[in-house]
Every structure is written in C-alpha cells, then in structure tokens.
Amino acid sequence: MQSTDKDFLTVCGGCNAKIGAGNLAAILKSLPRPKKSDRLLVGYNSDDDAAVYKIDDQTAIIQTLDFFPSMVTDPYLFGKIAATNALSDVFAMGGEVVTCLNIVCYPEDSNMKVLEKILKGGAEKVKEAGGILAGGHSIHDHRAKYGLSVMGKVAPDKILRNDRVKDGDVLILTKPLGVGIVISSYNAGQASENAYQAAIDSMTTLNKYAADIIREYPVDSCTDITGFGLAGHLTEMLHGEYQATLAAENIPIIPEAYECAGNFLTTAGGQRNRDFIDDRIKFTFDDYALQEVLFDPQTSGGLLIAVQPQYADEMMTKLEKLSTHPAVIGQVTKKAPTDKVEIIVD
C-alpha cells in the first residue's frame, strides 16, 4: 500500500544530519592533497562554503552541493528548504546562481507523487534564485533525500571568503537562530504552530536578498550559518587569529527556540557542535538555553557578515527592510597568541 504524503517523509534530517565537524576534520586531514593549481582559488584545504575555480580575469566558477533527509513531513516544503539551503553557499561567497542539478534519493516502492512535490518545491526556489535547473541524478534509497548541485559565478576579485575578518569588524547576522531546536521540538509535539511557521519562513527565504545588499559594500568576510551552528561557523571565520565578542541581547533568536532549549529540548547535532568547540567559547554569564541556541545546527540559516564599522550602519538600514530580522551581534578583535578563547558571549 502506498504511503500518504504526510506519513511518508519521516523527520530525521536537515543540517542536523551533518557529520560532526570533529569527525570530518580528522577524515579530511588523512586524504591526499590535490595537485596545486593557480586557478583553484578556493578548495577543500580551507573550511570555506564552496569551491571556486578561475576561468579568466573576469569570471570564476563557484561549485557547491548540499542534500539531506527531510526535517518536515510536507514534501513540497522539504523541496523548498533543501533547495534554499543548497543555493545559499553561492550567495555567501558573493556569487550569482547559474545552473543547478537535482540530487535525489528515493525509495523504489513509494508514492512518486510525493517525489514530484519535493522536486516542485526545489524547482521554484531555483527559479526564484535566478538559476536554471538543468538536470540531475537519482538513485533508490530506503529514505528520501534531496538537494542540489549548484554552479554560480563571481568576479575573482569579488569572492567573499569565510576567513578574511579584520580587526574591528562588525558582525551582522541576517536570520534568527533556533530553527533546529524549533523543528525537532515541533516534531515531538513540544513547540507551537507559530514557532514552526517562523522556522519554515526562515528556512525558505533565500539569502539572495541579503547578498544583493551586501555586494554594495567592501565586506571583509562572509559565511552562511548551517550545520555547525553560529558558534561553529564563527570559529571558522576567526580561524585562530581573531576573537569575537557577542552581545547576547542582540542575537536574533526565534523566541520559542530559547524556551525549548531551556526545557532541554535540544538536538544531537547541537551536542556534537558543543563537543567540538566548547573550549573555544566563553560565556560571561550562566545561560544554558542561549548556549544551546548558539550550538544549534541551522538548516538554511542566515549570512554572517564581517564588515568595517564605517559601513555597518548603512548596510543595516538596508538589511532591516528585509523580513528576516537581521541584527548586529558583535565585533571582531585581534586575539592574543596565548588566548585559547575565540568567542566571548557577554
């Protein structure tokens, strides 16, 4: 008997399904390094969001892919979320989306109408991003998984890296945190419809609109917040040489996510993130719920932007016109060589 749409998509995925940063780092260290090329501007020898390959002095290709099992029961929403998440890396690196390929894993004996809805949601987001859906690849698997391989383009001198912060940079976050906690709590019957809808709205909003604004300014560094949470992706941005002080009251959070975290409704991915970077973050006050929100894996999270103070106010004036509740959350300073702490939450 064919399954219904609702009970087919078991909730077990999103960026919470990512392999932990600690395990991943150990694996990557053991792999042989590729032949050095002056045209490979960004490769996997860094922790950046995507690969970048230079074609000529005017054009470089951004290449990325992302896919995962669903974190929602609605297949159409799953398609939209997975595509929005996969497209985000191109925007985080300052690029424009060109072409996309579907990545599909789907059970052989399941309702194909469900898969049709997943693909419809994804196709709509590719179109909204300005890209062309050019094909894809599918295999049978015991659980549905979906995402995209995305090619973008950027001028070589306009690439936004995730490890180019400067002393004094202001940190801006363009979406609220807590979607992982909210979705897992909702699926357990512990979060409200309002909180769930806030998480869905965030996960299905393209980072294109924030990226279009920040391209107007000399941004020093940028990344998108996904499976390693704000704390994990910020440590990548600081890359051991800088320290960030975050103003706790300014960090945008889906309100119910904070409440759920305080009731110990957290995620396995959040615990993996805590285990990996707990010794590099210092809280000046006791707030378990806030800690969990900062470690929480974000599916299709916002952009984290580092920009010099003289541009921050004007940029924020434009970003605040978006519906995503952006906020200035902290500042970057040079770290003392003897200091092991990279993030201070004050």
Q: What span, in angstroms and rounded, lies between the C-alpha atoms of 36 and 10?
A: 43
Number of domain units in the chain? 2
Q: Are residues 152 and 193 in the same domain?
A: no
- Strand pairing partners for 135? 101
Q: What span, in angstroms and rounded, lies between the C-alpha atoms of 122 and 150?
A: 12
Given the residues 12, 15, 222, 260, select the one marked as catalytic.
15
According to the 3-state scheme, what is the secondary structure of 153-192? EECHHHCCCCCCCCCCCEEEECCCECHHHHHHHHHCCCCC
- Strand pairing partners for 61? 53, 153
**332's torsion region: left (phi>0), alpha (psi -120 to 50) or beta?**
beta
Structural domain boundaries enclosing 76: 5-158
Provide the CATH number for the domain around residue 84.
3.30.1330.10
Which among 158, 185, 208 is the end of a domain? 158
- Strand pairing partners for 51? 63
48 annotated among ligand-binding-site residues: yes
> Helix, strand, or coil here: 31?
coil
Q: Are residues 252 and 174 in the same domain?
A: yes
Is the pLDDT score of 283 beyond 80? yes
5 annotated among ligand-binding-site residues: no
- What percent of the chain shows pLDDT beyond 90? 82
Q: Residue 43: pLDDT band by 50, 70, 90 thresholds?
A: confident
Task: Please indicate, yes or no, if residue 140 is contained in any of the structural domains.
Answer: yes
Mean pLDDT of 63-74: 94
Which among 90, 123, 158 is the end of a domain? 158
User: Residue 260 catalytic?
Assistant: no
89 annotated among ligand-binding-site residues: yes
Q: Are residues 49 and 144 in the same domain?
A: yes
- The count of other CB atoms within 10 Å of the CB of residue 4 is 11
- Residue given tokens 């087919």 in the structure block: 8
Q: Are residues 154 and 174 in the same domain?
A: no
Which among 123, 158, 193 is the end of a domain? 158
137 annotated among ligand-binding-site residues: yes
Question: Considering only CA atoms, which of 142, 104, 158, 148 is closest in space to residue 125?
Answer: 148
Query: Model's pTM, two decimal places?
Result: 0.91
Provide the CATH number for the domain around residue 282.
3.90.650.10
Q: What is the pLDDT of residues 16-36, one digit of tens each?
A: 555 655 566 667 667 777 677
Q: Are residues 11 and 153 in the same domain?
A: yes
Q: Residue 218: pLDDT band by 50, 70, 90 thresholds?
A: very high
66 annotated among ligand-binding-site residues: yes
Q: Are residues 200 and 180 in the same domain?
A: yes
18 annotated among ligand-binding-site residues: yes
Hey, what are 236's tokens? 């990548």
Specify the pLDDT at position 36: 77
Q: What span, in angstroms and rounded, lies between the C-alpha atoms of 235 and 162?
A: 10
Q: What is the pLDDT of residues 113-167, one digit of tens each?
A: 999 999 999 999 999 999 999 999 999 999 999 999 999 999 999 999 999 999 9
Task: Please indicate, yes or no, if residue 163 is contained in any of the structural domains.
Answer: no
Q: Are residues 212 and 327 in the same domain?
A: yes
Q: Are residues 117 and 175 in the same domain?
A: no
Q: What span, in angstroms and rounded, lies between the C-alpha atoms of 144 and 291?
A: 32
300 annotated among ligand-binding-site residues: no
